């Protein structure tokens, strides 16, 4: 059993929950991040029923006070954090043509997918620096790959969701920025695409299960290669930015 600790945002359901379950079964202590107390508590209870060391972390990544309070709690109880998995995200309006998507909707997507993730990462840096070989994982999307979405023969090029897709492109850039800063501390920072997964985002039309999606995240979290940082992965292979 490992004594490593993991924070997973947006983990009360779907890919985040399955990631928590798979990592918990590997012996990690799970801090299950959820905006909603009741839903989070129910998710934690499900994990604990499987013998997983899971704790509820009520956190709204769009709220600075909430994020700081979450970091302070873990500092008091564990004093460090080994892995931060920034999974929380929203889809925004889709399908919708770029010329029709409202600025307010795009801002809402960015507030969670980009600014919220930056907020979480910055607040938890002291905890990550308090251990060795810490990891930050950004749950991105292949829709954020400019290489894929600009290729008119690629399925992702047909998706109309400018707010969401561009937010994931921005998240990939954020990944590289943090990777460069934190390399001297031995903290790896990578992005991962869980693939087109059947979730609430797409009305459960995705062709991958949440179990398959989580496997790629768990693999990256378990990767014993500190030099692997500032990269984007899909199905255990490096993907194009």
Catalytic one among 28, 110, 135, 168? 168
Closest residue by Cα to residue 58 from 91, 24, 18, 12: 12
Closest residue by Cα to residue 136 from 85, 177, 70: 85
Any idea what DSSP says for residue 131? Answer: S
Coil, strand, or helix at residue 153? coil
- Our answer to whether residue 168 is catalytic in this structure is yes
Rounded to the nearest 10 degrees, what angle do helices 64-77 and 117-129 cross at? 20
CB atoms closer than 10 angstroms to residue 65: 8
Measured CA to CA, the distance from residue 189 to residue 83 in angstroms comes to 10
Distance of CA 175 to the CA centre of its chain: 11
Catalytic one among 164, 185, 196, 233? 164
- Our answer to whether residue 164 is catalytic in this structure is yes
User: In what order do the strands lie in the sheet containing 29-34?
Assistant: 54-58, 29-34, 5-8, 83-86, 135-139, 188-193, 232-234, 237-238
Closest residue by Cα to residue 128 from 172, 188, 58: 188
Point out the residues that are catalytic: 164, 168
């Amino acid at each position: 059993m490992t004594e490593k600790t993991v924070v997973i945002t947006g983990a009360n359901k779907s890919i985040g929950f399955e990631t928590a379950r798979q990592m918990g079964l590997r012996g990690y202590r799970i801090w299950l991040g959820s905006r909603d107390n009741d839903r989070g508590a129910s998710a934690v209870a499900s994990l604990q029923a499987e013998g997983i060391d899971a704790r509820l972390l009520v956190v709204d990544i769009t709220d600075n006070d909430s994020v700081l309070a979450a970091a302070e709690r873990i500092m008091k109880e564990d004093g460090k954090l080994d892995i931060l998995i920034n999974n929380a995200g929203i889809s925004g309006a889709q399908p919708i043509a770029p010329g029709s998507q409202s600025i307010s909707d795009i801002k809402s997507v960015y507030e969670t997918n980009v600014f919220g993730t930056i907020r979480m990462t910055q607040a938890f840096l002291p905890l990550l620096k308090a251990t060795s070989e810490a990891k930050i994982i950004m749950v991105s999307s292949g829709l954020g790959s400019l290489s894929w979405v600009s290729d008119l023969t690629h399925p992702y090029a047909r998706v109309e969701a400018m707010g969401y897709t561009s937010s994931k492109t921005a998240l990939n850039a954020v990944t590289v920025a943090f990777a460069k800063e934190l390399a001297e501390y031995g903290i790896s920072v990578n992005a991962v695409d869980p693939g087109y997964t059947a979730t609430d985002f797409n009305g459960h039309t995705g062709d991958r299960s949440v179990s398959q999606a989580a496997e790629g995240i768990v693999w990256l979290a378990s990767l014993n290669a500190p030099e692997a940082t500032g990269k984007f992965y899909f199905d255990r292979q490096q993907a194009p930015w």
